[in-house]
Structure 1
Amino acid sequence: MTRIDGETQVVAILGDPIAQAKSPELFNALFARHGINAVLVPFHVAPEWLGSVLDGISGIRNLAGVVVTVPHKVAALVFAARLAGPALQTGAVNCLRREMNGEWTGSMFDGTGFVQGLRSQGCEPYGKRVLLAGAGGAGTAVGHALVEAGIASLDIFDMNTASAARLIDALRLRRTGAVIGEGCANARALHDLIINATSCGMRMDDPLPVDLSAANNHAVVADLIMKPAETRLLGEAKARGLITHPGRHLLEHSIEAIAGFLNLLSALEVRENPL
């Protein structure tokens, strides 16, 4: 049980919905493990209230910061006075640190967390041919991290064609050597890695975000959704004998870096205590 007293540092996680969030469980376990007097609590915030909420809580002196989840990762960017790390490239944030003057500094850890999570499970992205469904905040971060990791190609699909086009253009401008193109919601035999970065799958009656009928028998199918732990997409992949990669690996490999960014965990502790 987390101890709460007058010196407790508070971290909020803002999302809509929020019931699926695994951050409270994992962050509070991290704080307990390191003896940090801090607590992370969930707040259900609809998009139209995001600005009012961030403006209101910015004056709370013992608020270390905010973790940002669906659907606020792009919208929250405009509230950051400064951007750090991958947020400068991705145009989205999943964490806002409260500075002493009440301003927000934003950063993004989804992409690096996803790549580290892949590697922890023995899936090296270098040279892989990837299909990415979803070009929102998380999908954009994952796309940038994958090209940095040296993938061979990336096909991008989003129902919002403008979002997909923006990400395609941004990644092509980086000139990393990866072939970046427009994809569709169908896996092909050439894809080594298939990723769902949409919210489709949070409910078990959601349609499949990607058709796996033509997928490579050796493909890895990843879903960024945390709850349910096994989405319909992962269940379909498992039924086809494909390797699955659930969303928890991204968060498990992001929380220490986020805690460090919020000044709740020292850089030395982050390096010396890998998950």
Structure 2
Amino acid sequence: MSALKNRGHHINGRQAFIAGAGGAGSSIAVSMLDSGLDSITIFDRKTEVAAALVERLLDYYPGRVVRAKEQPDLSDFPIVINATSTGLRDGDPLPMNLRTLKAGTLVADVITKPAVTPFMAKAEKLIRRPHPLRNGDARRTA
């Protein structure tokens, strides 16, 4: 969260979409909710994994966590995060369909190599904002 804050990104009162309900996704969700995020919508292709995470989070953050059974319209979210392993291997498909991503959306990817993943490169084009974190930074955001 400090990397986002240090770059002038604020999440208080905002909504986020996160793809991936494993270890990275659950850690990110908790950190964001603890930092003032209004609500988070979680999607995972493994529906039982998403359902289990949402159920656990609702115990601590009632009314602030939503499970998406399919990828929602991303234009509804000012923050979009890839917390899946998609992108670790050359030729991986994008982890989500970005066609409804709006200009100005804060986009983040947990994949750190390459420095700009295909997911982030596509997001940069759609949101019309250059990638602010490069080579060696722990997390990628646009």
TM (norm. structure 2) is 0.85
- Partner residue of 2:18 out of 123, 127, 132: 132
Q: Is 2:127 the partner of 1:238? A: no
Q: 1: distance between equivalents of 2:104 and 2:25? A: 23
Judging by fraction of residues, say which structure has more strand. Answer: 1
Provide the aligned length of Structure 1 versus Structure 2.
136
Q: 2: distance between equivalents of 1:213 and 1:136? A: 24
Q: Is 2:67 the partner of 1:182? A: yes
**Structure-to-structure mapping, 1:1-275, within 5 angstroms:** 115-175=1-61, 178=64, 180-183=65-68, 184-243=70-129, 244=131, 248-250=137-139
SS of 2:74's partner is coil
Deviation at 1:176, TM superposition (A): 5.7
Identity %: 32
User: Structure 1: which 5+ residue stretches go unaligned?
Assistant: 1-114, 252-275
SS of 2:18's partner is strand
Change (3 A) 1:188 1:241: closer
Deviation at 1:186, TM superposition (A): 4.6
Which residue in 2 is equivalent to 1:54?
none
Q: Identify which of structures 1 and 2 has the higher relative contact order when contacts are C-alpha pairs closer than 8 Å and 6+ apart.
A: 2
TM (norm. structure 1) is 0.46
- The residue identity in structure 2 corresponding to 1:248 is D
- The residue identity in structure 2 corresponding to 1:146 is M
SS of 2:66's partner is strand
- The residue identity in structure 1 corresponding to 2:85 is S
Deviation at 1:248, TM superposition (A): 2.8
Structure (1 or 2) with the larger CA radius of gyration: 1
Q: 1: distance between equivalents of 2:132 and 2:42? A: 19
Q: 2: distance between equivalents of 1:197 and 1:245? A: 19
- The residue identity in structure 1 corresponding to 2:66 is G
User: Structure 2: which 5+ residue stretches go unaligned?
Assistant: none
Q: 2: distance between equivalents of 1:191 and 1:245? A: 20
Deviation at 1:158, TM superposition (A): 0.7
CA displacement, residues 184-225 of structure 1 (integer Å, 9 cap, x when unaligned): 335421101100011101234111101111112221110011
Change (3 A) 1:125 1:131: same
- Structure 2 contact 105–127 (Cα < 8 Å) conserved: no
Deviation at 1:245, TM superposition (A): 6.3
Deviation at 1:249, TM superposition (A): 3.9
